Structure 1
């Protein structure tokens, strides 16, 4: 659980070297939070993937991005299937706000796949449990802080948030919004992972090799990814989809979105089955060890302040 080596490369040691190299630069909070973001979104100059490629080559970067082999290859048989239907106009109007886009377009595909897999979901302004668990441990003037970040969509394994989604506009979403959602989603998954480790250490469920999942949507494209822990919180891309914007691309676009969501949910199903099949009773000493290990993980860096629009006097 604390080792990450692929084909002779010690990636934890490489990450520490990356931190030393970047000590005098503008250091990202994700790296400060021990999050090794390996997705294509993170490959720009100065990122950890760029550092791996420069120092160990493309082969080492590909090895770092290699995910755990999925054991599930087929969908289970369903006695009863209920669909969350979706419906589009001939062309998706540009006047849709962020919530309408997420609910009527992106979430229709994602939630439909989760519903088929019998995995419950919730949408719109859902408090992320792990973030809340971390914040309530902090006190201001003797009062506990009970304010959690909100997610656009959440999927559950038992009572645990195994999937967290962030979404932006389907037209005109800015790069700043894309970067902010990527940052928020990875921080939320880190909090979720730590929270679930603390919870499972007190129940007959596995305490290692655990993954959590997320997605970010930006200008019609959705990226699906997974996070696990190997001495660092590793983030990998699993698949992606592009919502069809016009009638001429509607049929093939829908097929691609459905298949991408089904492929993604297979990964989530596989993780759920691993957790269930690996369940075992643990001793009091083992539970204490797990809780101490979870408590030893450093708290996250300072949370970014959300920008608030302030109209100038001419707008009033």
Structure 2
């Protein structure tokens, strides 16, 4: 049964830039719609390999328009209402850049060559450089984000698609891709490219939304209610299958995060540091969030919103 959601679209794709595609993993053309997103595109499930992806898909030109028209400046979707680059500066100072703590915990970075795909302004590379990585290189499709990282942090950031890397074979020890693989149009090609540029024994570390949450929560899962730039939806099974097809061994899969949406308390500056007072002023939000947390606690699902992974080239 296909689920639907009735929300105001945060983005409108140009119909002439949308094209139906076969399954990005196995090329089968037999699929079933399972969810209608807020942007009117369907999430479908391949009937041959169970991979789930968006149908139809926007062209690369249309995706470029999405990223160029306010994605990083807070104009729409994931970063709406905030200045992305300023928030990343704060994250660097606090060592809270997305993926950094997981990477540091599961990879020896000393004197390693590191490539970060979908690096945006290169915040993760800044931290890696501080921790003794011998070479840091980023790849980013957004010209504005790449230019910012080169100017602000003096980083080497290439403007390129992650599934077609302008890099030589076996030139890196570690490749990272946090919040990227769900964005690319050709995930199988992406994994092959990462395998190509890694040395034998090198590791691929990353994270993506966990589509297993959809099996637990359906349309309640926040991963299908926002982020209209996401094209692919991985779970542990499809991620492992894709990794093995590309020549990787799965070293670690880990589940983190909260799968349901929580409402944000309004920012009352006078009581900003007093969370109990803020909750008392806004009991409706407190009740809603408490109910959401209770539902997750009672169900205690394996899937926790985000799927983090460590893969090794064999």
Q: Please give the TM-score of this superposition, normalised by the length of structure 1.
A: 0.27
Larger proportion of strand: 2
Higher-RCO chain (CA-CA 8 Å, sequence separation at least 6): 1
Q: Please give the TM-score of this superposition, normalised by the length of structure 2.
A: 0.28
Larger proportion of helix: 1
